[in-house]
Structure 1
Amino acid sequence: MANHKSALKRIRQSEVRRIRNKYYYKSARSAVKVLRNEEDKTAASEQLPKVIALLGKLAKKNIIHKNKAANLTSKLTKHVNGLA
């Protein structure tokens, strides 16, 4: 166990951040899944900017890698554009 006050504080902070990051990541995955399963082009077009913004924020906070965010953005955009 940690002996210093600063180490104890660091443990508390990292636990809070871990839970918060897990929540953000899971909510982003759910949003991507909902968008992928969308069949209506107008509804998908409305959701796309929100999901792209969410992925960009996660990449900026280093919760996901920036290339992963770019790849997901590209694939989702192609999916929405391909809907009839």
Structure 2
Amino acid sequence: MANHKSALKRIRRNEAVRIRNKYQHKTMRNALRKIRTEEDKKAAETLFPTVVSMIDRLAKRNIIHANKASNLKSKLSKQIAAL
């Protein structure tokens, strides 16, 4: 168990950050799933900027790796172009 006040605070903070990161990552995955199952090209194109901004935000905060973000955006744009 932690002995210092700052260590106890760090433990609480880490848990709060972990939960927030998990929530944001899951939200991004759900948005990806929604845009991948979209049949209408126009609807997919309107969703695309919001999903890309989610991906970029997660990559900036190191929740997902930058290369993973690039791969996701690339695959998504290819799929939308093919609709």
- 1:44 is paired with a residue whose SS is helix
Superposed CA offset, 1:18-37 (max 9, x none): 00000000000000000000
Any residues of structure 2 matched to 1:45-56 within 5 Å, and which?
45-56=45-56
Aligned twin of 1:57:
57
Q: Which runs of 5+ in 1 are unaligned?
A: none
Shift of 1:57: 0.3
- The 2-side partners of 1:6 and 1:53 are apart by 34
- 1:3 is paired with a residue whose SS is coil
Give percent identity, aligned residues only: 58
Superposed CA offset, 1:7-51 (max 9, x none): 001000000000000000000000000000001000000000110
Aligned twin of 1:16:
16
Runs of 4+ that moved beyond 3 A: none
Aligned twin of 1:66:
66
State TM-score, norm by structure 2: 0.99
CA RMSD of aligned residues (A): 0.4
| Count, aligned residues | 83
